[in-house]
Amino acid sequence: MSINRTSIGRASPLVALVLLATMLVTGGIDVYAPANADRYFTLVAERIRQIPYQIGAWNGIDEPMTEPARELLKPNELLQRRYHNRDTGESFTLLLIHCKNTRDMEGHYPPVCYPRHGWSMGRTDHLVLSVDGQQIPANRYSFEKPSRQTLGMNVLGFFVLPSNEQPYTAGMEALTRASRARSAAGMGAAQIQIITERSMAQSRRDEIVAMVLEEIGPTLRLIARGTADE
């Protein structure tokens, strides 16, 4: 994996899940999914559950999702896992949430969620990640708690949609377009966040991103494929 960048602390392991749950967008038009969508959703959920707990020297511990959060988000599958490096003591959080209804993801991204919960957003860096020749646009955000200068984090995030043309997007534009179309909204979307401590060196973050994307690459490709091969 390579990262072309224009340039980018310690957060609660549950903060991403809480923010996603409380920012749920409700209402809107009914959505339509093709007849074979159920099998696609099942395959995606199974693949997410297969993401390994051990990645190199990093060991993962799941952060449980509360029932109120599950009722709000209605995810097809959600992974929130804190990975610790047994050799260095470092840690990062991987969040991967997949929803059957694209509109459920609207508003669930760092520039909206985190500031509404007391985080001050700093710079935003626009990246292009390259995985197996596939370019993935992503944004990397920095946040801190104004009242607690020692509490800060960096969040790398992007979305995946089932699409032959533009399956990966860093912002909400493509997601919003999909949510306005009944058939596209009914095929769902996924959001990926990789959360690291503010004190971590940028080169170390890049290593973690490369490592994580290599592991979840098959899952991302399955989500992007949609029902094309069904």
Q: pLDDT-based confidence at 118, cuts 50/70/90?
A: confident
Answer with the residue of higher pLDDT: 73 or 217: 217
Main-chain dihedrals φ then ψ at residue 102, nearest 5 degrees: -55, -35
Domains of the chain, by residue range, sit at 29-107+125-225
Q: What is the pLDDT of residue 228?
A: 65
Q: Is the pLDDT of residue 230 over 60?
A: no
Question: What mean pLDDT do residues 62-84 have?
Answer: 83
pLDDT surpasses 70 at 181: no
Q: Cα(22)–Cα(214) distance, rounded to whole angstroms?
A: 30
E strands, the chain, in order: 2-5, 54-55, 58-62, 75-85, 91-99, 120-131, 134-145, 148-160, 168-169, 189-197
- Cα–Cα distance measured from residue 2 to residue 162, given in angstroms and rounded to the nearest whole number: 23
pTM greater than the 0.85 cutoff: no
Give yes or no for residue 178 having a pLDDT over 70. Answer: no
Token pair, residue 52, equals: 């390994």
Helices (H), 121-196: 173-179, 182-185
Question: Which pLDDT score, from 0 to 100, does residue 166 have?
Answer: 84
Does the pLDDT of residue 21 top 80, yes or no? no
